[in-house]
């Protein structure tokens, strides 16, 4: 077995796990969303980042599953109640904005004085919907399924303090943390997944 075939097998199993979880929510429109993910996007082969965590094929799906597990663990640790379907929807779909967003580009580099060509992930600077990261995810999700308010808050603020710099964003973020502690725990789950559970692949 090669490394590539092992990774392909992991990706296949993770896709299966992802779809079982998503279907278990029985949310209106979920089959249409699944059809979109499987047939009109690169969701299950996309990386989670171009240069950072899980920058390999299948990295995005794996990232979402990691966030799901960390989020569930943090909610249990802090005794915060949140409907299981909301945990699943928020975790598995928070980065939907990364669908059809990463492209593999050829680059050249000199190694020991010899030029070589290699492939590197880059990003689509012209996504279909000209909205920032979190808002773009919400827009995609809501075109298929309804979102509960708490899910929208969790996804909107999932970048935590890195999601916006203006004074009002910071104030509203604090208010959201105070009123909906799951919003803070989700930011922590996303960050833990990216920095502790996931690796950066040398390109
Ligand atoms: Fe994100
Ligand atoms: Fe994320």
What is the CA(5)–ligand 1 centre distance, in A?
28
Q: What is the pLDDT of residue 201?
A: 81
Ligand nearest to the CA of 48: 2
Whether residue 112 is contained in a domain is answered as no
Give the whole-number percent of the chain exceeding pLDDT 90.
Answer: 82
Kindly give the distance from the C-alpha atom of residue 117 to the centroid of ligand 1, in angstroms, as a whole number.
Answer: 30
Contact present, 67 and 93 (Cβ < 8 Å): no
Domain span at residue 27 reads 3-100+131-197
Q: Express each pLDDT in 84-133 by its tens digit.
A: 999 999 999 999 999 999 998 888 989 989 999 988 889 988 888 999 99
The Cβ of residue 143 has, within 10 Å, a number of other Cβ atoms equal to: 12
Structural domain tally of the chain?
A: 1
pTM: 0.94
If you write DSSP's letter for every residue of 36-68 in order, what string do you get? HHHHHS-TTT--S-SSSTT-STTHHHHHHHHHH
Cα–Cα dist 101/99, whole Å:
5
Digit-coded pLDDT (tens) for 52-90: 888 999 999 999 999 999 999 999 999 999 999 999 999
pLDDT band at 50 (very low <50, low <70, confident <90, very high): confident
Please tell me the number of the ligand nearest to residue 137's CA: 1
| Cα dihedral sign, 9-11-17-19 | negative
Distance 133 CA to ligand 1 centre (A): 7
Q: Angle at the Cα of 61 (from 58 to 151), degrees rounded to 5? A: 160
Q: Is 119 helix (H, G, I), strand (E, B) or coil?
A: strand
Could you give the CA distance from residue 189 to residue 147 in angstroms, rounded to a whole number? 20
Q: Ligand 2 centroid vs 104 CA: distance in angstroms?
A: 20
Ligand nearest to the CA of 60: 2
Domain-located, residue 150:
yes
Residue 202 has pLDDT above 80, yes or no: no
Residue 47 lies in a domain: yes
């Amino acid at each position: 077995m090669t490394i590539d075939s092992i990774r392909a097998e992991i990706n296949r199993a993770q896709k299966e796990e992802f779809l079982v979880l998503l279907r278990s929510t029985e949310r209106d429109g979920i089959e249409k969303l699944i059809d979109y993910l499987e047939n009109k996007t690169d969701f299950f082969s996309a990386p989670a980042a171009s240069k950072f965590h899980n920058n390999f094929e299948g990295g995005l799906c794996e990232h979402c599953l990691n966030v799901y597990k960390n989020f569930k663990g943090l909610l249990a640790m802090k005794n915060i109640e949140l409907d299981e379907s909301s945990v699943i929807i928020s975790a598995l779909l928070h980065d939907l904005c990364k669908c059809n967003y990463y492209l593999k580009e050829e680059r050249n580099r000199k190694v020991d004085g010899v030029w070589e060509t290699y492939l590197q992930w880059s990003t689509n600077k012209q996504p279909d919907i000209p909205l920032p990261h979190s808002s773009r995810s919400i827009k995609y999700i809501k075109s298929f399924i309804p979102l509960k308010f708490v899910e929208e808050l969790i996804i909107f603020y999932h970048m935590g303090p890195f999601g916006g710099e203006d004074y009002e964003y910071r104030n509203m973020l604090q208010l959201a943390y105070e009123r909906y502690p799951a919003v803070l725990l989700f930011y922590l789950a996303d960050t833990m997944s990216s920095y502790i559970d996931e690796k950066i692949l040398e390109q």
